Structure 1
Amino acid sequence: MQLGTRWAARTQPPAAVPAALHAQIAAVEASVPPDALGQPAPYWTLTWLEGRPVVELDTGVIVTLDRDGTVVVRHDDEDEFA
């Protein structure tokens, strides 16, 4: 069993987050404008599904690896199997 973790957007991902996901996590964060009212940054949550890492931002953006090891970005309201 692998435990997940949480961390704030725009901070260094924890060591448990595979390096293969770092670039896409940074790209997602760059696309989310900072809150003009000074609200805290959203948080990422790392979980594991069938041995593969899944990171989800509080906004609903999900970054994961598919079975071939390709990084996939989607939103939680998209059908994963469509």
Structure 2
Amino acid sequence: MQLGTRWAFGDEPPRSVPMELRPGIAAAESGTPDGAGRHWTLTWLEGRPIAELDDGTVVTLEHPSGGGAVDDGDDW
């Protein structure tokens, strides 16, 4: 189990934020003219990091091509 964290817009992300996610966060911040009072929230979904800004901006890693199992929905 991994717990998430929060940090203020424009601040250095905490060490728990994966390095691969940081360029996307920086790009989202550079495209937002005023982030005053906003915060990022890091959560994990199925082992993948997701950073979400209070305004609904989401930064995540792309699904690795060819990786993972395919769910065909026939388990029932």
With normalisation by structure 2, the TM-score equals: 0.78
Query: Which residue identity does 2:64 align to in structure 1?
Result: D
User: What is the RMSD computed on CA atoms of the aligned residues?
Assistant: 1.5
1:1-80 residue pairs with structure 2 within 5 A? 1-34=1-34, 40-68=36-64
Structure showing greater Rg = 2
More strand by share: 1
Structure with the bigger RCO (C-alpha within 8 Å, sep 6+) is 2
Unaligned runs of 5+ in 2: 66-76
Query: How many residue pairs were aligned?
Result: 65
Identity among equivalent positions (%) equals 54
Where in structure 1 do 4 or more consecutive aligned residues deviate above 6 Å? none
With normalisation by structure 1, the TM-score equals: 0.73
